[in-house]
Amino acid sequence: MTVTNIKQDEFKKEVLESSGLVMVDFYAEWCGPCKMTGPIIDQLAEEIKDMRFVKVNVDENPDLSTTYSVFSIPSFVIFKDGQIISQFAGAMSKEGFLAKLNEVRK
């Protein structure tokens, strides 16, 4: 699968009303760590078939950032059937992401 960029008006349908696992990547175009993690998230989206991956630009969607307490970027929120099951922030290696994702995929 590919990573989908979504806006606030799509969030409900794409994340909250979605069944299964969805990882939301809150990022900004100007953010150095976000640029480093972007390709890793793209790889994970291709490799992990039982989870959807979406990106939300915090500059274009400030209300979502506030709603989900995104105070630093990149921030990641994992939803299962529309409910938050994990939230973490900061750049990490692919192995780090896999460890976090494997915890919620059990």
Average pLDDT of span 58-79: 96
Residue range 39-55, pLDDT digits in tens: 999 999 999 999 999 99
- Provide CB contacts within 8 A for 65, sequence distance 6+: 26, 56, 58
Among 23, 31, 41, 70, the one annotated catalytic: 31
Check residue 53 and give its pLDDT.
97
pTM as predicted: 0.94
Check residue 74 and give its pLDDT.
97
Residue range 7-23, pLDDT digits in tens: 999 999 999 999 999 99
Q: Is position 34 annotated as part of the catalytic site?
A: yes
Angle between helices 32-47 and 94-104 (to 10 degrees): 50
Q: Is the pLDDT of residue 34 over 90?
A: yes
Among 3, 21, 34, 54, the one annotated catalytic: 34
Domain 4-104, what architecture? 3-Layer(aba) Sandwich (3.40)
Q: Is the pLDDT of residue 1 over 80?
A: no
Q: Is position 31 annotated as part of the catalytic site?
A: yes
The chain-wide mean pLDDT, for the chain, equals 95
Average pLDDT of span 84-104: 95
Domain boundaries, the chain: 4-104
